[in-house]
Amino acid sequence: MSNGPLQIKAISGHAGPVPGRDASRDYDVCKLVDVTTCIGCKACEVACLEWNGYPFRETVFDNTYQTMPDLAWNYYNLIRFDEHVAEDGTLSWLMRKDQCMHCADPGCLLACPADGAIVQYSNGIVDFQQEHCIGCQYCVTGCPFNIPKFNKETKKVHKCTLCSDRVGAGLEPACIKACPTGCLHFGSKDDMKELAETRVRQLHEHSSHKNAGVYDPAGVGGTHVIYVLHDKDHPERYGGLPKDPQIPLLVRLWKGPLKWLGNIAIAAGIIGVATHYLRFGPKRAEEETKGEPK
């Protein structure tokens, strides 16, 4: 699917104009994950790894089919496996593809203080630009889905790019291409919503999943990755998908109405440092301690 070249809509920590802020696009892109037809084959995990050129890692057995407990800075896509026993004893084995949700109202971007480290394209993709990342990990705090992961060596944060490099070139994300059952779909948000709603109606009419529904949480303005769940009222059963995700209040306040507080604090800090210097002069290094660093 071609969506034309990427156009930036929002930039983290950026005071100046944003080229695509008021531009209107034909459509937003969206990934639909129909959890009710996912077989947990992990083809998406492998495709993601291969497209992004990340190395294979050592994993350990952990009493589950799940590859590892959580996403990693170089592992953007993980199927979460959960066994659930209903009140009537019926067992279900839930397999949910976990990755960045590409929120319309991205908490990571809001929290990020580094100019240009996180951008949101007008097609909805939220992308990290590691060359501008300062490693403060505020984005980790800002994300209600626990997605961004910190690389301790490079001090940069990484996450799923929704294959912005592929999508920008008119291709679908690598995970979509690899999915063998067609439980992954990619298209405009409107189309994906409609596809998801159609599937939900089918589940209501022709399956025992009378409480099936679409997961597109309003608390973050909707997402560009949406799920069809067997039970929309219990997303937390699917590897802890939050029921009503919100950008943490502190992040909202801090980057919104209380931003002036921060600015005052910064100014006060600078004044304080200057005063300190004038009053006490430069700080002299004490004699270095010998031996092993702690």
Partner 1 sequence: MTNGWIDIKNTDMMLIMGGNPAENHPCGFKWAIEAKRQRNAQMIVVDPRFTRTAAVADLFLQIRAGADIAFLGGVIHYALENQRVAKEYLVNYTNAAFLVKDGFKLPEDGLYSGFDAATQTYNKSTWNYEEAGGGKSAADAPPSLPPNVAYDAALEHPRSVYQLLKKHYSRYTPEMVERITGIPKDQFLKAADLFTSIRKDGDTRKAATIIYAVGWTQHTFGSQIIRTAAMLQLLLGNVGRAGGGVNALRGHSNIQGATDIAGVFDILPGYLKVPNPTDQNFAAWMKRITPTSAKPKEWDSWNYWSNTARFAVSLMKSMYGDAARKDNDWAFSYLPKVDREYSWAHIWDEMYQGKVKGLLAFGMNGVAIGPNSQKNIDALKKADWLVVCEIYPDETSSFWQSPGITREQMKNIPTEVYRLPGAGFAEKDGTFVNSARWLQWKWAALPPPGQARLDQEILARIFLNVRELYKKDGGKFPDPILNLSWSYTDPNNPSLSEVARELNGRALADVTDPATQQIIKAGQQLPGFAFLRDDGSTACGNWLWCGSWTEAGALMQRRGTDDPSGLGIYPNWAWSWPMNRRVMYNRASCDENGKPWDPARRQVWWNEAQKRWTGNDVPDFKADSQPKDHMGPFIMNPEGVGRLFVPLGGMADGPFPEHYEPFESPIANPLHPKQSNNPVVKKYKSDLDKFGTPEQGFTVVCTTYRLTEHYHYWTKNNPMNVQLVPEMFVEIPAELANEMGITGGEKVKVTSARGTYLAKAMVTRRIRPMTIDGKKVYQIGIPIHQGYRGIQEDEGKVPRTIANLLSPAVTDPNAYTPEFKGFLVKIEKA
* Binding footprint of partner 1 on the chain (CB under 8 A): 36-43, 45-46, 49, 56-65, 67, 83, 85, 91-95, 180-183, 199, 202, 205-208
Work out the angle at residue 224's Cα, subtended by the Cα atoms of residues 221 and 226, and round it to the nearest 5 degrees: 95
* Beta carbon nearer to partner 1, 56 or 260: 56
Cβ at position 183, least distance to partner 1 in Å? 7
* Beta carbon nearer to partner 1, 3 or 36: 36
* Beta carbon nearer to partner 1, 40 or 187: 40
Sheet holding 225-229, edge to edge: 184-188, 29-34, 225-229, 213-215
Amino acid type, 151: N
Cβ at position 81, least distance to partner 1 in Å? 9
Cβ at position 182, least distance to partner 1 in Å? 6
* Beta carbon nearer to partner 1, 147 or 183: 183
Cβ at position 234, least distance to partner 1 in Å? 16
Residues 6+ apart with CB under 8 A from 92: 83, 84, 86, 230
Cβ at position 214, least distance to partner 1 in Å? 16
Cβ at position 61, least distance to partner 1 in Å? 4
* Beta carbon nearer to partner 1, 42 or 224: 42
For the chain, what's the residue count?
294
* Beta carbon nearer to partner 1, 22 or 58: 58
State the residue for tokens 């109202």: 105
Going from the C-alpha of 218 to that of each of 75, 208, 215, 243, 276, the distances in angstroms are 27, 27, 9, 11, 48
- Ramachandran class of 32: left when φ > 0, alpha when ψ lies in -120 to 50, beta otherwise: beta
**7 CB burial (10 A radius; 0-12, 13-18, 19+):** middle
Report the C-alpha dihedral over residues 268, 269, 271, 274, rounded to 10 degrees: 170
